[in-house]
Chain A
Amino acid sequence: MKKILILLLALSLVIGSFTGCSKSEDAKTDDQMIVGFIYVGPIGDGGYTFAHDQGRLYLEEKLDVKTIYKESVPETQEVEQEIRNMVDQGAKAIFATSFGFMDYVEKMSNEFPDVAFFHCSGYKSTDNMANYFGRMYEPRYLSGIVAGLKTKSNKLGYVAAFPIPEVVRGINAFTLGAQSVNPDITVEVVWTSTWYDPAKEKEAAISLLDKGADIIAQHQDTAGPQQAAEEKNAFSIGYNTDMKDMAPKAYMTAPVWNWGPYYVEQVQNVIDGTFETHAYWGGMKDDTIKLAPLTENAPENAQAEVDKAEAKILDGSLVIFEGPINDQSGNIKVADGSSLTDGEMLSIDWFVEGVIGKIK
C-alpha cells in the first residue's frame, strides 16, 4: 500500500512539474504548418525570451500557422531531443534562439534536411539552417543620446553581462551615442557574469549609483537594474523589451527587439518553398530592432536628437563605428575616414575612450 502511495505521489510531482514546461496552443487544423520555437529562458523573464515569444505571437496572428514552443532549454544535448520531439509533432520550421544551441541545431539540420532551421546569434549555417541576429548597437547608440542629454553628473553606469563582443559592442555604441551630445561623459562598467539573476544585477546597479552614476543602462535579461534606479531616484535605460511598467519613475527608453516581421517573412518563405539559407544581421532599417518610445522621464530635446540621428543612420550618413575612434588609453583604433567592418564589429574586444572598466 505504501509503495503504491509513494509511486502515486512521485508521479503527481512529476506531472505537476511538467505542466510548467511545455504547452501547445489551440487545436490544429490539418493544413496548418507547424513552427517550433526553442527558448533558452522562461517566457516570464520579461526580457530576451519574452521578446522572441512576442515575435512568435505576432507570427500566429499574421499567418495561419500553429506554433509550439519549449522554454528554459539548457544549452546541452537536450536541444537535440527537443528538436526531434518537434519534428515528430510535424514542425517544418524551427527557431532556436540562443547562441549555445548552435552546434546541436547544426547537427539536427543535417539529420532533418526537410526542416528549415533558424538559429539566433550564432555564426554557423548549413543548407537548411540559417542564422539571424540584430544590430542592437544601432538603437543602443540612440539610447546613449537620451542618457547623454539627461545626465547631470556626466557619469553613466552600465551593468554588463559577460565580456563578449556583443556586450562590448553595445557598451561602445552607447558611449559613442552619449558622447555625441556631451563629450565629457564617462561610462562606468561592472560585470555581473550573469544573464539572469535579478537580485544580483540590481545590486550591481546600486554599486554604480553609489559611485556617482545617475543613469543606469544594462545588458541582462531582467529588470533588476531598472529597480535599482527606481529606488535611488536615478534614471535608466532598459533592454530587450519596453520596461516602463517595471520602473515608471526611472525608465526612459530601451533598445528593443522586434522579431515579428522577420519571423513572418521567413515562415512565409518556408510555406512558399522559397526558403534559402542565409546569415541575417538585421538593422533598424529592417525593423528587427528599434528604440522603444521615450517616456516623460526622458529630457525634452531627446526626441528631436534621437529622430535626427535615427534618420542619419537609416540613410547611411551616420556610421556608428566610423573613425576617428580612440580606445581607452587614447590610441587611435579606427582611423579618420575608415569604419569597422561587420567582421571587426563581431569580434570587437576593446573599449572606446571614456569607458571606465576592463575586459578580462
Chain B
Amino acid sequence: MIESFLYSVIISGTPLLFATLGEIITEKSGHLNLGVEGLMLLGAVGGFGIGFATSNPILAIFGGAFVGTLGALVYAFLTVSLRANQVVSGLALTIFGTGISSYVGTIFVGKKMPEVIIDFFKPFEIPLLSKIPFIGNILFNQDLFIYLSYIIAISLGVYLYNTRFGLNLIAVGENPSAADSTGINVTLYKYVHIAIGGALCGLGGAYLSIVEVPQWQDNITAGRGWIAIALVIFASWNPYKALYAAYIFGGLNIIGFRMQNLNFSQNLLDMLPYVVTIMVLVGSSIKKSKNNAPPKGLSIPYFREER
C-alpha cells in the first residue's frame, strides 16, 4: 500500500520537478519568470504535436523542450535586452502560452499518443538498482522520462555548485555588475539560462501530455506551473532540494485519495499543499540565512551603464 503510494508520488512529482528546476536555473540568473505555467503548456503542446506527427519518442521530448525554449527566448528578449518589467512579462507569457497551446491544441482534440511512444515510455527496471529493497521498485522501476529527470536534477546541482560556469551564473544572479567587471558576459549568461529554464519547464509539460496522460487535453497542467514557482522558494534555489520539494508536493497532491476513508476531512486534505507552502514561507523568512535567500539581483533589470 505504502509502496504503491510512493510509486505514484514519483510520477505525480515529476512535472513539478522539471518545472521547479527550470525556474531555479532561471532565477539563478536573476530573472523571476512567472510564465512557468505558459511554458509548461507550450511544452505540452509542442511535445504532443511532434510526438503525434512523427511517432518518435526522442523527437517528442526534444519538441517539448524546444517549444519551451522558444517561449523563454521571447521572455528573455523582453526582460534582458529590453529590460521590461519581469513580473508583467512573465504573466504575459503565461497568458500567451495558455492561448497558443489551446489554439494549436484544437487540431489534437480527442487524439491519443501513438502506441509506439506509449510503449517507449513504459516503466522498466534498471538492473541492480531496482533490486534494492523497498526504494528499488519505487525509484528504479519507472519510465525513461523519470530517469531523465533524476539525471537532470543531479547534473544541474553539479553544474551550479561544482563548475566554473555554474559559479559564474550565481555571480550573475547575485550581483551582475560585479560579474560584468570580472569579464563575465552577463547578457549571454542570462539568455542561455533563461532558455535552459524554458526547456525544462517545457519538459515538465511534455511529461504530462506524452507520458502521464498520453492524449491531448486542453490546459493539462491545471495550475502546476504556479506551484512550481512556490517550490523554488521551498527548495531554496537548490536543485538537490528541488527533488524532495517536488516529491513532497506530488505526494500531498494525491495523498487525499488514499486517506479518504480514514476519517480525515476531505477539505483539510485539499488544503494541505497550500498550508505547507505557507508554513514553509513563514519558516524560511524567520530563519534567514545565506543558504535559503533568493539571488540578490532577482527581478532587478541590469543596466551596464548604471554601474
Partner-B contacts on A (CB < 8 A):
2, 5-6, 9-10, 13-14, 16-21, 41-46, 50, 71-72, 163, 188, 190-194, 196-200, 202-204, 206-208, 210, 222-224, 227, 245-246, 356-358, 360
B211 to chain A, nearest CB (A): 10
B212 to chain A, nearest CB (A): 5
Q: In the docked arrangement, what's the CA distance between A45 and B102, Å? A: 10
A37 to chain B, nearest CB (A): 16
- Please give, as numbers and ranges, the residues of chain B lying within 8 Å of A190 by CB-CB distance: 256-257, 260
Sort A-B residue pairs by CB-CB distance and give the 8 closest, nearest first. A17-B99, A20-B99, A44-B218, A20-B103, A207-B257, A42-B218, A197-B222, A198-B213
- Please give, as numbers and ranges, the residues of chain B lying within 8 Å of A21 by CB-CB distance: 99
Q: Is the CB of B4 within 8 A of A210?
A: yes
- Please give, as numbers and ranges, the residues of chain A lying within 8 Å of B93 by CB-CB distance: 13
**Known contacts A198-B212, A204-B257, A207-B258, then 5 further A-B pairs from the complex at CB < 8 Å, ordered by chain A residue:** A43-B109, A45-B217, A197-B223, A200-B12, A207-B254
- Please give, as numbers and ranges, the residues of chain B lying within 8 Å of A245 by CB-CB distance: 110-112
- Please give, as numbers and ranges, the residues of chain A lying within 8 Å of B220 by CB-CB distance: 198-199
B275 to chain A, nearest CB (A): 15
Q: Is the CB of A191 within 8 A of B266?
A: yes
Partner-A contacts on B (CB < 8 A):
1, 4-5, 8, 11-12, 15, 74, 77-78, 82, 84, 92-93, 95-96, 98-103, 105-106, 108-112, 208, 212-220, 222-223, 253-254, 256-258, 260-261, 265-267, 270
Q: Is the CB of A224 within 8 A of B257?
A: no
Which residue of chain B has its CB nearest to the CB of A356? B261
Q: Is the CB of A44 within 8 A of B105?
A: yes
Which residue of chain B has its CB nearest to the CB of A226? B215
A257 to chain B, nearest CB (A): 15
Q: Is the CB of B257 within 8 A of A202?
A: no
- Please give, as numbers and ranges, the residues of chain B lying within 8 Å of A20 by CB-CB distance: 98-103
Using known A-B contacts A199-B15, A200-B222, determine if residue A17 contacts B100 with beta carbons closer than 8 Å: yes
Q: Is the CB of A6 within 8 A of B78?
A: yes
Q: Is the CB of B222 within 8 A of A19?
A: no
Which residue of chain B has its CB nearest to the CB of A193? B270
- Please give, as numbers and ranges, the residues of chain A lying within 8 Å of B261 by CB-CB distance: 188, 356-358
Q: In the docked arrangement, what's the CA distance between A6 and B77, Å? A: 10
Out of A14, A42, A203, A357, name the residue touching B8 (CB < 8 Å): A203
Out of B1, B216, B254, B265, name the residue touching A200 (CB < 8 Å): B254
Q: Is the CB of B112 within 8 A of A246?
A: yes
Which residue of chain B has its CB nearest to the CB of A21? B99
Q: Is the CB of A360 within 8 A of B267?
A: yes
Q: In the docked arrangement, what's the CA distance between A360 and B262, Å? A: 13
Q: In the docked arrangement, what's the CA distance between A25 and B281, Å? A: 49
| Most chain B C-beta atoms within 10 Å of own C-beta, residue among A198, A224, A360 | A198
Which residue of chain B has its CB nearest to the CB of A42? B218
| Most chain A C-beta atoms within 10 Å of own C-beta, residue among B74, B109, B213 | B213
Q: Is the CB of A16 within 8 A of B96?
A: yes
Using known A-B contacts A16-B99, A19-B103, determine if residue A223 contacts B217 with beta carbons closer than 8 Å: yes
Q: Is the CB of A202 within 8 A of B109?
A: no
A7 to chain B, nearest CB (A): 10
Q: In the docked arrangement, what's the CA distance between A249 and B152, Å? A: 34
A62 to chain B, nearest CB (A): 22
B210 to chain A, nearest CB (A): 12
Q: In the docked arrangement, what's the CA distance between A47 and B292, Å? A: 44
Q: In the docked arrangement, what's the CA distance between A197 and B224, Å? A: 10
- Please give, as numbers and ranges, the residues of chain A lying within 8 Å of B82 by CB-CB distance: 2, 5-6, 9
Q: Is the CB of A202 within 8 A of B213?
A: yes
- Please give, as numbers and ranges, the residues of chain A lying within 8 Å of B216 by CB-CB distance: 44, 46
Q: Is the CB of A210 within 8 A of B92?
A: no
B238 to chain A, nearest CB (A): 26
A28 to chain B, nearest CB (A): 22
Using known A-B contacts A17-B96, A43-B109, determine if residue A194 contacts B218 with beta carbons closer than 8 Å: no
Q: Can you sample 21 A-B contacts with CB below 8 Å? A: A9-B78, A13-B93, A13-B96, A19-B99, A19-B103, A42-B102, A42-B219, A43-B106, A46-B110, A50-B110, A72-B102, A190-B260, A191-B266, A197-B223, A198-B220, A200-B222, A200-B254, A203-B254, A203-B257, A204-B254, A360-B266
Q: In the docked arrangement, what's the CA distance between A348 and B1, Å? A: 33
Q: Is the CB of A203 within 8 A of B12?
A: yes
Q: In the docked arrangement, what's the CA distance between A72 and B41, Å? A: 16
Out of B8, B99, B106, B108, name the residue touching A207 (CB < 8 Å): B8
B297 to chain A, nearest CB (A): 21
B87 to chain A, nearest CB (A): 14
